[in-house]
Structures are given as structure tokens and as C-alpha cells.
Structure 1
Amino acid sequence: MVGGTVGCRIATYRRRRGLSQAALAGLVGRSESWLSQVERGIRSVDRMTVLLDLSRVLGVDVASLTGTPWRHAPNGADIGTSLDDVRRAFTSYQAAVGVSPGAAIRVGSLRTAVAHLHASYQAADYTDVAAGLPSLLTDVDRLHAASPPEDREAALVYVEAYVLAAKLVTKLGDGELATVAADRCVNVAVVTGSQVAVSLAMYQVAAALLRGDRVADAERVVMAMADRADRDLRSDHPALVSAVGALWLLGAVIAARRTDRPEAESRLARSAALADLLGQDANYGFTAFGPTNVAIHRVSVSAELGDARGALEAAANVDASRLPLALASRRAQVHLDLAWANAQRRRDAEATLHLLDAERIAPGAIRFNVITQEMVREMLARGTKGQTRALADLAGRAGLLH
């Protein structure tokens, strides 16, 4: 693997491909001056979608540009081992090969286990989720296989477990496994007749497609589901309002990834209307949906658009303390976006403070964010020893230093 910063790696792979700066910049929709600044280390690659575009044009994977595996954090050995167990659980097919369900499994106990692991996920404790997920999936598979088709509760807990599985493997970068998990969610959710279950499952399908850089497919799926489910909304069905609101928020992020600001704003406006209908910061269906999460997504959308000033302005309207304490990863996301915005404007001291806040709230949120990792490395490279001591300590704790 080529050494140096991301900018140095991009320059090396660009030359190997025989491309000029102007040619490569044009192929990824950026200016030649932007690419020149990136290669010289003056500015960072500000969006994951740009990294994906660069890797595709240069014929290398993202890890070759970032210098670290994309699927797992550098200090993620335990996660990697646990994900092997998750993969084995996905491919056990116990019902198909005639394995007995064994002792009776109660829906209530499984729902409790799902809630526990979902709480860990929302706290960015991905190691805990990866460790507990294999046995949970085995149990829901056995229950589903042993239950009659009309057992709606068994089907719903199956969907809840596989939604969680899809979230984890999407977060950790395994797009293929995420697609499998999301597909299983949808197939069973449809049978339940629950619009909430179908909406949450389709959200995961879109998230998996987006992780695989299939932006158009992700947008088609999420917007079709949002439009359909939106017709059935009632103020007395908060779980469905939350699920549909989450779909609109994902749609806004996808529009921003296409650099379509008007459409992103339109979708944010619809999600804000649904948050007003809900009337509170809640966590129905583990969506974390509510007015504050909409405000947080306004910051994220600006960051996705590469608009550092817009992200800073949107953040002024966010009061993350209003979120339930359990939603640590959502509260940390504000600080990650603000760290990025400040770093883009070379306000590294402010960026470092936001990173430290994010680490305090949810350490895992830093360890599994490629853009954040690269931002930290670039700030370390351009700062003096005295200026970057706190940042270097954070990078060490997050496993970003080798």
C-alpha cells in the first residue's frame, strides 16, 4: 500500500493511471484547484462519496486511499472476530438442514435482548452488539422456523433482530452482509402487515445500497417507501410517524450526496413537519426520530454538501441535551460534523475540542468513521507538537496511530 497522507496517495495513484489533476478533478466533479490543495495537504477530502468516486476512478479500494481498512477500525480486531461469528450465524440455515429448535424460546425474552443490543448500538458500543448478535440471530431464526405463519409476534421480533444486524454490518462496512440482512427483514416484515416494520426494513435496504455506493438505487427505494407510507400517517401512530420521518431524513442525506441542495432541503422540511406532528424527541422503533434529530441532520446534510459554513450555522439551532441520554451516537454526531466544519476552515483547536466532546459521549463514533479518522491525521500533520498534543492522545486512544 502506498504511504503518506490521503493527498499523497491520491497523487501517486493518479500518476500511475496517467491522469492530470484537471482530468481526475473533472471525473469526480471537483475543480483542479481543489484537487491540487488535497494533494498538497492544504485541505482534506470532505465527503465519503468523494473518496468513493476517487477510488473508483483510480481503480483502487478506499483503504488504499485512506491507509486503513474501511470495514474495521485499526484497533478493531475484536470487532472483526465477532463479525466472523455474525457471518456464521447468517449462514447457519438451521431450519433448512433440520436442526431442532431445542428448548422453547420466548418472544418476550428475545425482545428484551433486541432492546439491550439496540441500546448498545445507539451508544456506539459496537463491540457489545457484535458479541451479542450471533446468539440473538440464532434464537430468532429458531423461533421463526418453529412458529406458525400466523404468529405475528415471532415474525416481528425476527424483523427487529435483523434490522439491528443490518445496522451493525452497514456501520462496519460490510455492504453485502447488510443487503442480506435487510432483504430478510423485508421478506418477513411484509408478511406481518405492519407498515412500521416494512418501513424500518426498507430503510435498511436503502442504507445498505448507499453503503455500497449505489446512490440511485438507495434513493429510489427510500423515496418510494417514504411516499407510500406517508399516505397512512396519523398523529396517534407515533411509531409510524417516526419510521417515515427517518425515511425522509435518509432521503435528505442521499440528495445531499448528489449535491442536490433544493431536494435535500425539501426532504428536511417534510421530516421537520413529521417531527412537529410527533411533538417530542423520542425513540420509537429505535429511530431516534424527533425535532432534535432533524436539526442534527441539517448539520449532517450541510457537511455532506461540503458546506462548512452552513454546518456551523445549522449547529447553532441544535440542543443535543434534549435527546434521551441513551442516544449517545446521535449526540456525538453533532460534534463530529462540527469538528469537520472547523477543520475545513483550519480552526483546528475548535475541531479538536469537538472531537474530544464526541469521544467523551461515544468513543466508538470516532473509531468507525473514516472521514473523521482522516481529518485527525491531517490536523496532526499540519500542527505543531504543542498544538496537537491533545489530538495525538485522542488519536492514540482511537487506534489511529500505528
Structure 2
Amino acid sequence: MHIGERIGAYRKRKRIPQETLAGLVGRSRSWLSQVERGIRGVDRLSTINNLAAALQVKPADLVGHDWKYAPNGSPEVAAVAAIRAHLASYGHLLARPSESPPWPLPQLRAATVEVHRSYQAAKYGATARVLPDLLRAADGYDGFAGQSSREIHLARCMAYAAASKLLTKMGESELAWITADRASHAAMAADSDVARGLAAYQIACALHRAEQSDEAEYVAVGAAEHLLPLAASDEPDLVSLAGSNLLLASVIAAQRADRSLATERLTRAEQLSQLLAQDANRAWTAFGPTNVQIHRASVAAELGDPRAVIQEATMVDADRLPKGLHSRRVQVHLDLAWAQTQAHNDTEAVFHLHLVNRQAPEVTRYNTIARETLRELLRRARRTTPALNTLATSAGVLA
């Protein structure tokens, strides 16, 4: 049985009308009818959770296999174990001597810049390999109270923020939360609003990946509200961080099927992007008019509206983004692949996934939606094509 058949079976067993169940999850009766008949897929984690709650079953009962592998399972990255080991060592707390002397501050700062660039270029494996040494070097300064203490705390915040980004992407939500929390402590020690905004965003991302959406929304909205009065000074870093937190909050609202609130937050973010008047990457946010437009397509996808995804995505000019932002550039193609899959335009869906894989192959492997879209295309294909097989193998969906 596919997921739609399971949903229909549980609904009928509990004698819940289609219209009632659809209303409980913020969808239309026609949408639910198409899901139950296998015409549409359900690839959003939030939608599966909402359906399971309404039917009073476990998400795994609807998915049909162990929940840890669907749909948010990610392949393991070997270097994550080294990051985990460092986080669990607590050498500074136990007064153990450092394994190596701290890096000079200029070297530490330069390394944090490079690791953020590597992550945004979607080089996740390379980023993971660098992070254990970077975090050890950053923690070598733990408790430092010298003349350069503020700059050191800022560098530690940026190092742990980069670690949280990668761990969130890898599905390691608990480790992502720990590293984001350490970034927040460094931000407070540095007494920097920019660092606070960056740490808050990473905490919200980690909570969101851990399926604690209410808490994530609270943090993201709170951070945006705190930064908005400060952003009135047109400080580009603060503007970018306020806007980024609003964009994350808009996605969370869309996952809750709150279209009006998601739209309102997108509008506020767009107004902030107009203050910058250009696409930038201040505070490693990639925030600007183009990123807002990309999020409009993503919000439409979260709302389950493939037509709106296609309409919004066609208005995006990804070439306007700063160089190196490969993960942001391919997001449009990920959303279009999902939309075309929902419309059963499988050839077009494979085409967009091919563009993702060509520009940022590690996104294909580690992005939840890319992997689940490929599974859906494989499941209903009468015969697989070399292009689909190659993509699925690259993503680790096929051995």
C-alpha cells in the first residue's frame, strides 16, 4: 500500500469523512481524495505529522516503514562522529590540557570564513572534515579574557554557527541544537546583536529540524522582532538577520497551512530586502530580494500548491545571487522538481533534479525533498530511465 491508501484505510476505520480530515490538516477535500487515490504524494514531514495526529496513529503507520528513515532520513557523514566526539569531550570543563595550542586569532577568523563559504557552496563533506579541528581551535580560547576577547568570542560564535548549519543539513538535530546553543553563549559573551541574531537563527533551524516547530517559530519571530528596531538604522547585517528569521518563520507558518501569516511574513521580509536594494550575503544569510523570491516558491511548496510554485519560481533570476551560493541557487529547481512531480510531469521533474545534481551534487544526496521526490518518481515509474537511475544512485536512494 502507498501512503495514500494507508491514510484512506485509517480514515475509514475511524469513520472520519474526507472533508473533516482534510479540514483538520488545513487542506481541501479534493486534495485528500487525490492523495488517497495515489494521484498526489505526501512528501512534507509536517503534513504527515498532522495527518497522523488527526488519525491518532504514529507517522510510521502512514509511511509504512521505520520513521527514522522516512522522510527525513539522511545518509551518514563519517566526519560527524568526530564532531560529536569533540562536543562530548568537555576538556575545558575538566581542566584537561589542550591537544594543541590555540590558533592565532587571524587564522581562526580566516578558517571560519572558509568553512562558511564551503557550506554555502554545498560542499558538505569537505565542510564536515574541517569542522572538528576548527571547533577544537575555537575552544582553545574558551574562558579567554584578554584584550581581544570580543573578537575571539565572535570567531567562536561563527565557528559554532557553521557547525550547526551543517549538522542541521545532515539531520543531526540534537547536535545542531548543541552547537547553536554554544554559538549563542559566544554571542552573548561578545555582546553583539549581529552574533545574537545569527545564533538565534541557527537555534530556530535546529529546533525546526528536530520537529519542534512551535519552539522554532517562537525563537525566529522573537529574534526578528528584537532586530527590527535595530535594523531601522539600515545596518545591513542586522537587516539581513531580521529578514532571514522572518523567512524561516514564513516557512514554518506555511507548514502549518497558515497562508495569511506566511504571506505577511514574506511581505515584511521583502520590505527589509528593499532596504538593501541588492542581493548580498551579509552575516552569511544570503538575504536579499532574490532570496525572498526563492522563499515565496518554497512557501508555496509547503502549502502544497504546485501551480503557485511554478509561477513564483519562473520569476526568480538566480544569477543575481552572489557567487558561491550554490545551495540557494538550486533551491528553485528543488521546488520545481517537487511541483512537477505533483503534476505528474515526471520528465520535467527529472530535468530539474538533474540541474540540481549538476550544480550542487551534495544537495541531491543530503536534501530531504530531493531524496523523497526521487523515491516518488522511482515508485511510480513504469520503467526507469538512465537519467533517473543516475540521479537516484547519486542521491543514495539506489545502491
Shared topology, TM-score over 0.5? Answer: yes
Hey, what's the Cα distance between the residues in 1 that align with 2:266 and 2:216?
17
How many Å apart are 1:226 and its aligned residue? 0.6
1:32–1:355 CA distance, 2 compared to 1 (3 A): same
- Asked whether 1:50 is paired with 2:51, we answer no
TM-score in terms of structure 1 length: 0.89
TM-score norm. by structure 2 comes to 0.89
Q: Deviations over 1:332-368 (max 9, x none)?
A: 1000001111111111111111111111111121212
**Structure 1 counterpart of 2:266:** 268
Structure 2: distance between partners of 1:63 and 1:373: 17
**For 1:189-228, what aligned pairs fall within 5 Å after superposition?**
189-228=187-226
Task: Give how far 1:144 is off.
Answer: 2.3
How many correspondences in the alignment?
A: 392
Q: Distance in 2 between matches of 1:107 and 1:70?
A: 42
Distance 2:356 2:200 in 1: 29
User: Which one of 113, 117, 130 corresponds to residue 115 of structure 1?
Assistant: 113
The equivalent residue for 1:232 is 230
Q: Secondary structure at the match of 2:324?
A: coil
Cα shift readout 1:201-256 (whole Å, capped 9, x = no counterpart): 11111112211222222111111111111001145521111111111111111111
Tell me, yes or no, if the aligned pair for 2:188 and 2:196 is still in contact at 8 Å. yes
CA distance in 2, matches of 1:378, 1:104: 49
Deviations 1:251-280 (A, max 9, x none): 111111121111111111111111111121
* Residues 378 and 304 (structure 1), Cα distance of their counterparts in 2 relative to 1, 3 Å cut: same
How does 1:219-298 map onto structure 2 within 5 Å? Answer: 219-234=217-232, 236-298=234-296
Question: Helix, strand or coil: the match of 1:184?
Answer: helix
1:313-324 mapped onto 2 (5 Å cutoff): 313-324=311-322
In the alignment, which residue of structure 2 is the partner of 1:329? 327
Post-superposition offset of 1:150: 6.9
Structure 1 range deviating more: 390-399 or 24-33:
24-33
Q: Secondary structure at the match of 1:95?
A: coil
Q: Which moved more, 1:124-133 or 1:322-331?
A: 124-133
Q: Matches of 1:185 and 1:55 in 2, distance apart?
A: 35
Identity of counterpart residues, as a percentage? 43
| Larger RCO (CA under 8 A, 6+ residues apart) | 1
Aligned-pair CA distance for 1:90: 0.8
Helix, strand or coil: the match of 1:289? coil
Q: Could you tell me how far 1:59 is from its partner in structure 2?
A: 2.3
CA-to-aligned-CA distance 1:93-125 (integer Å, 9 cap, x gap): 111111224424212111211122211211222
Contact 2:45 2:72 in 1 (8 A): no
Is contact 1:28–1:50 with CA below 8 Å preserved after alignment?
yes
* 1:87 counterpart residue number: 84
Amino acid at match of 1:392: N
> 2:363 maps to which residue?
365
Q: C-alpha deviations, 1:187-214, integer Å up to 9, x for none?
A: 2212212111000111111112211222
Q: Which amino acid aligns with 1:64?
A: H
Write the letter of the residue equivalent to 2:58: G
Task: Please tell me whether the aligned partners of residues 276 and 291 of structure 1 are also in contact (alpha carbons under 8 angstroms).
Answer: yes
**Residue 41 in 1 paired to residue 38 in 2?**
yes
Q: CA RMSD of the aligned region, Å?
A: 2.7
CA drift of 1:180 comes to: 1.4
Matched with 2:186 is 188
Distance in 1 (alpha carbons) for counterparts of 2:90 and 2:195: 23
